[in-house]
Structure 1
Amino acid sequence: MANASRQAAWEFWGAELKRRREDAKLTQDALRRMVFVSGAYIGQFEQAIRKPQLDVAIRIDEVLQTDGFFERTWRKLIDDKRYADYFAAAAELEQLATKICEFESMIVPGLLQTAPYTRAVTLANNPLAADEYIEDKVHARLDRAIILKEATRPLYWAVLHEAVLRVPVGGPGVMAEQLEHIARLARERKILLQVLPFAARAHPLMGRMLTLMEFEDAPPTAYTEGVYSGNLLDDPALMKRVQESYDQVRAAALSPEASLTLIRSAAEDYRRCASST
């Protein structure tokens, strides 16, 4: 589903929510309390500024007695087979964000990946998959990265653990190209990038990944991912703790200039290794 038509469908979802809420003679605040969401979320759902999570859609059906309408429609809209089920909602939010901050402890963030690197990661996770499946995943990830090329691109700030630079995903040639790509994005001022060196030792996000997203007309959201699972977080108290953890990691990282020097050095090492084999 193209982005424009998908957005129109979410606007229909929001309009139906407003109509059925008013038919039930409930204010936005009353419905908010009944489905246990924060702040002005109901209004943002109705204007298609923000998309609800599945459990909220289910509770809306229960409160408004809509026989599963909002859950079914939600599943149809969010069912993008290019992405894992647990990541589809985060992928939607990513396209709407005005600011994205990421931390990765082991692999290059999806928005920064090159095709060969993505292919190697996907194949590692799906060693028996057909070529068509692998290429679909590669194209989906590259499609996501288009937002960094647009004039209205979000402010993007990534902190990568040094392990991301040292694990030779796909081999030396793939890693050289990948790190050169990241360096080019930073050099062209399309992204802000820092590296957390091994010397930084323990930190609040050890072994984890984290994406923080901010929006023009909606509260911030965080996305975390585990083994074949992912979670969107938007509780204000939890978001405060998550932001503090990210700030600690960012403070311990190398400066952008020193980070770029380290990335270039690692890329050169991989390039020499690739040319000698």
Structure 2
Amino acid sequence: MPGPKNLDPSSSPRALLGAELRHARERKGLSQEALGLRLFVSGTFVGQLEAGTRRLRPEMAPLVDEVLGTNGFFERNCEASNKSRYPEHFAEAAEAEAEATAIRQYAPLLIPGLLQTPGYAHAVNRAYDPTAPEETIDEWVAGWMERTRLLDNPTTPMLWMVLDEAVLRRETGGRAVMAEALSHVADLARRGRVIVQVLPFSAGAHKSMEGSLRLMDFEDAPPLVYFEGPSTGRLEDDPATVAQLRFTFELLTASALSPQKSLALIEQVAQDYAHEEHP
């Protein structure tokens, strides 16, 4: 059997590295759980590495080579598989997002990245780093907009977004930018590309008041949840944690306005911004 080849970063390196990991593991006669024990991670994590939904970290690669007897292959090719145009804390989540079959998200403060317009993304990125050169902001926005190409597929991934009413009311980038951004969200909802619900202020206290949540499902890998904070982010695959947060999302959808009423509110607020009226 020919040995594994070095990876070409232009041809989905994480997927190729995952396939090589699976082949090497099977040659050793190890299950995902058995390999996970040797690597001090869960079998679920090994499965996600093989499916290309998680990154092989550079510090883990030498141990993988040692356990599987792959003569430094994973250490040599790990760097290529980890290249990303996204910030380090978000890169793994963005790459997992691209492989997801369904994404459910609660956004308490801003329009989710997949639904943003360039103007809105520019305002958000400028707020993140007020002193960054304009060309740097433009590069970040280009990366942001690259993510939205997921919506070119008319059905996959399935998107279900719950937006706190604060997302609609916080004027980000000015009234014209908000009018365009909310009209874009409404258009996606009208076309059936995304299910959008608004959690109104009148709903009062709810189960996710401490922050956002994002759940991702995959065809050939266990689900993930992504936790995000200022310049930080973490993926979690613990089944109990994922199940608990899935229940949280279900409670949020139950407290939110229906998709029809949500669409009407989004369009109303967009019109208010467009006509320079106060919501």
Shared fold (TM-score greater than 0.5)?
yes
What does the per-residue CA deviation read over 1:70-119, in whole Å, with 9 as the maximum and x for residues that have no partner?
Answer: 35633432221x21101111111111111111111001000000000000
The alignment partner of 1:34 has SS state of helix
Counterpart for residue 34 of structure 1: 38
Counterpart for residue 194 of structure 2: 191
CA distance in 2, matches of 1:149, 1:91: 16
Pick which of 135-144 and 162-171 moved more: 135-144
What does the per-residue CA deviation read over 1:104-157, in whole Å, with 9 as the maximum and x for residues that have no partner?
Answer: 100100000000000011111111111111111111111111111224531100
Counterpart for residue 271 of structure 1: 274
Letter in 1 for 2:227: T
Matches within 5 A, 1:58-69: 60-61=64-65, 63-64=67-68
Counterpart for residue 213 of structure 1: 216
Decide whether aligned partners of structure 1 residues 235 and 59 sit closer, same or farther in structure 2, where only a CA change above 3 A counts. Answer: farther
Residues 106, 207 of structure 1: 8 Å contact kept: no
Matches within 5 A, 1:234-249: 234-249=237-252
In the alignment, which of 5, 15, 33 is matched to residue 10 of structure 2?
5
Letter in 2 for 1:10: R
CA distance in 1, matches of 2:150, 2:173: 25
The alignment partner of 1:170 has SS state of coil
Decide whether aligned partners of structure 1 residues 193 and 53 sit closer, same or farther in structure 2, where only a CA change above 3 A counts. Answer: farther
Decide whether aligned partners of structure 1 residues 84 and 130 sit closer, same or farther in structure 2, where only a CA change above 3 A counts. Answer: same
1:260 shift after superposition: 0.7
Counterpart for residue 74 of structure 2: 70
Decide whether aligned partners of structure 1 residues 262 and 43 sit closer, same or farther in structure 2, where only a CA change above 3 A counts. Answer: closer
Structure 1 unaligned blocks of 5 or more? none
CA distance in 1, matches of 2:75, 2:227: 23
Letter in 2 for 1:184: D
Residues 6, 77 of structure 1: 8 Å contact kept: no
1:272 shift after superposition: 1.2
Residues 102, 209 of structure 1: 8 Å contact kept: yes
Residues 33, 42 of structure 2: 8 Å contact kept: no
Say whether 1:135 aligns with 2:141: no
| Aligned-residue CA RMSD (Å) | 2.7
1:4 shift after superposition: 9.0
Q: Detail structure 1 runs of 4+ shifted over 6 Å in the superposition.
A: 65-68
Percent sequence identity over aligned pairs: 44
1:34 shift after superposition: 2.0
Decide whether aligned partners of structure 1 residues 247 and 124 sit closer, same or farther in structure 2, where only a CA change above 3 A counts. Answer: same
CA distance in 2, matches of 1:210, 1:76: 29
CA distance in 2, matches of 1:27, 1:187: 46
Decide whether aligned partners of structure 1 residues 53 and 208 sit closer, same or farther in structure 2, where only a CA change above 3 A counts. Answer: farther
CA distance in 1, matches of 2:206, 2:79: 37
Residues 41, 50 of structure 1: 8 Å contact kept: no
Q: TM-score, normalised by structure 2?
A: 0.86
Counterpart for residue 200 of structure 1: 203
Letter in 1 for 2:171: P
How many residues align? The count is: 270
Letter in 2 for 1:76: A
Letter in 2 for 1:167: R
In the alignment, which of 203, 219, 226 is matched to residue 223 of structure 1?
226
Q: TM-score, normalised by structure 1?
A: 0.87
Letter in 1 for 2:18: G
Letter in 2 for 1:191: V
